A and B are shown apart, each in its own frame.
Chain A
């Protein structure tokens, strides 16, 4: 199948694929924004143990983490308009992009919710008590003491989440969105140089992932400059030494409830 391999095509495909980079990045950015908002809304009832809402967030999390993203895309694109028709809302004319960003956004929201909850809970309770004891309000304690540290803790998880999202957007072509993977399919079909398009495509994803990872790693280093760093041998790269209060986020995912003490 296809034409004989010709490396020249890889180079000529690169700029053509990059024309659709904007679409891919739009999906990523739109979904991240939606996802962070959704994640926050879902994390709150779980952190504050609000009865009914907490169960609802649990269902939301199970659905979006327990089913394939492809199925979610189909369900939202084909299913949502049908359901909304019943209540008199017509979505059949809404752009595909709307469904794509909504689905990826809600999908990302499930992971963001866990990221937010785990990061906030990883800041040790003692510091919050110290803030309260000094007379700070809950809002002051959160914004000045918890938030800056939770952000730093969240960055590595956030980094994984963004990169996973970037790669997942390659499935949007199944709904006919002309993002990078969709474009690659078209180019391949047109020229019969499938392998070359996929090499070019993989290369672009790789470069973006790598850049994002580096940027976020730099952000993490900046946000955690108060923690002790050790030079790790020959690599000469800095490694974060986890200390008492900085329990790993994954540990605290397990110990869901460490809350002790009053507050207001």
Chain B
């Protein structure tokens, strides 16, 4: 269970997150929508302290971190309870697919080699890359790289996986294979916060949709509520802009 309370963040004098509070229950899939620059990435990056929040509180599982006085050890523990899947995959380029997944198991979780290997092979098979264990990222397609990224995140058995536009760097024909994998792990009850512009995916997979604008959560609800009966004008405008007319009227 994730609890964000009153998270604020500014870059210089530019406030990017304004008192954001959000709860995500265990096994829940929350999709964050919003226009470019609304602060979605920043919010995700605050949760694992890739950005330092200005103030607020982050709770993941039994760990509570007060952002105004977080210590290094808090940050490390927070990061060990979360995992992230990046828009640009960010695989370790000098390591094979298998080594990418094993890395944190060996270094962070300090598992024995055989155990780390067994688990990593299993996960790569699960994301359909059983035949690519020894391939370096430079030899993999974007879709394959992102599936390695997902396996790498799963390996840590985190309390939540943070996805930041996992498919928006992909060629259109590769988007499907990655969404399929995310959909499958969502079904297994893994807690996820997903920033995406894939509306179909959001509708199918999300338990809850959160719409952000200008560093605020403007509206949240089930996919039905947000997509079919948006209350806020800003949400309606956003949906009109990104959803083709025909889809929207359904």
**Chain B residues with a Cβ closer than 8 Å to the other chain, count:** 33
User: Are A134 and B83 also in contact (CB < 8 A) when A226-B95, A243-B138 are?
Assistant: yes
**Complex formed: what's the CA distance from A59 to B74 in Å?**
40
Q: State whether A152 touches B86 (Cβ < 8 A).
A: no
Chain A contacts with B in 70-127, Cβ cutoff 8 A: 124, 126-127
Contacts of B139 in A (CB 8 A): 228
Contacting residue for A152 out of B75, B88, B92, B94, CB 8 A: B94
The size class of the interface chain A forms with chain B is 20 to 34
Verify A130–B79 contact, CB threshold 8 A: no
Expressed in whole angstroms, the Cα–Cα distance for A35 and B52 within the complex equals 37
User: Contact mask B79-92 → A, CB, 8 Å, 1/0?
Assistant: 11011101010111
Whether a CB of chain B sits under 8 angstroms from the CB of A264 is: yes
Determine if A126 and B94 form an interchain contact, defined as CB atoms under 8 angstroms apart: no
B108 & A135 in contact (Cβ 8 Å cutoff):
yes
CB proximity to A under 8 Å, residues B161-176: none
Q: Please give, as numbers and ranges, the residues of chain B lying within 8 Å of A264 by CB-CB distance.
A: 49, 72, 75-76
Q: Cα distance A228–B75 when bound, in Å?
A: 36
Which B residues touch A134, using CB under 8 A?
Answer: 79, 83, 103-104, 108, 152, 156
Answer yes or no: A133 CB below 8 A from chain B CBs.
Answer: yes
Residue of A127, A227, A243 with most chain B CB atoms under a 10 A cut-off? A127
Contacts A135-B80, A137-B76 given: A130-B107 contact, CB under 8 Å?
no
Binding stretch for chain B, among A5-13, A142-150, A198-206: A142-150
A66 in the interface, Cβ–Cβ < 8 Å? no
Interface residues of B (CB under 8 A from A): 45, 48-52, 72, 75-76, 79-80, 82-84, 86, 88, 90-96, 103-104, 107-108, 136-139, 152, 156
A sample of 17 cross-chain residue pairs with beta-carbon separation below 8 angstroms, ordered by A number, consists of A129-B86, A129-B90, A130-B84, A130-B90, A131-B92, A132-B50, A133-B83, A134-B79, A134-B103, A136-B104, A137-B76, A140-B107, A144-B103, A243-B138, A245-B93, A262-B51, A264-B75
